[in-house]
Amino acid sequence: MKIHFVCTNNTFRSRMAEAYFNSLKIKDWVATSSGIDAVNNIEGAIAWDTKDTLQNHNILEYTNKDWTQTTKELIEDSDLVIFMEPTHATYCEQTLHAKIPKHEIWNVIDTDINKDKTIVVLESESTFQAVKKQVDALITRI
């Protein structure tokens, strides 16, 4: 079974969710991720704070090495799609014209990496904990 996480640039929230989910090694499940605007991202392969957070939790190896642009095929080929905010689902429906399978919207807040580095690190950890809590709750439902 395939779960797919969608955010904006695929450098932060969806990558955290992908890494954490895959680190749990749930039999017959694999997570992937993408971003609706990944092709225009300016943060590189992964945001520095995401990389640091995933390394701190020893799960960096469980995420893709580069960002992925959200496509109609990625959405439709998934058994479950998790959108980090409602605008991601709207984009997939209205712009990609994707037939969205079973899905959830988690409302995980994005961060601004242009803030003071200490604040960004704290916000990144807070976002990771929010994603972790959502993934853990999801696992009890699947």
The per-residue pLDDT for range 52-111, each reduced to its tens digit, is 999 999 999 999 999 999 999 999 999 999 999 999 999 999 999 999 999 999 999 887
- Report residue 116's pLDDT band, with 50, 70 and 90 as the boundaries: confident
pLDDT exceeds 90 at position 43 = no
Query: Residue 8's closest CA among 63, 64, 70, 51?
Result: 70
User: What integer best gives the mean pLDDT of the chain?
Assistant: 94
Q: Are 23 and 62 in contact (CB under 8 A)?
A: yes
The secondary structure of the chain in percent helix, strand, coil, rounded to multiples of 5, reads: 45, 15, 40
What is the tens place of the pLDDT at every residue in 25-38?
999 999 999 999 99
Distance CA 54, CA 61 (A): 8
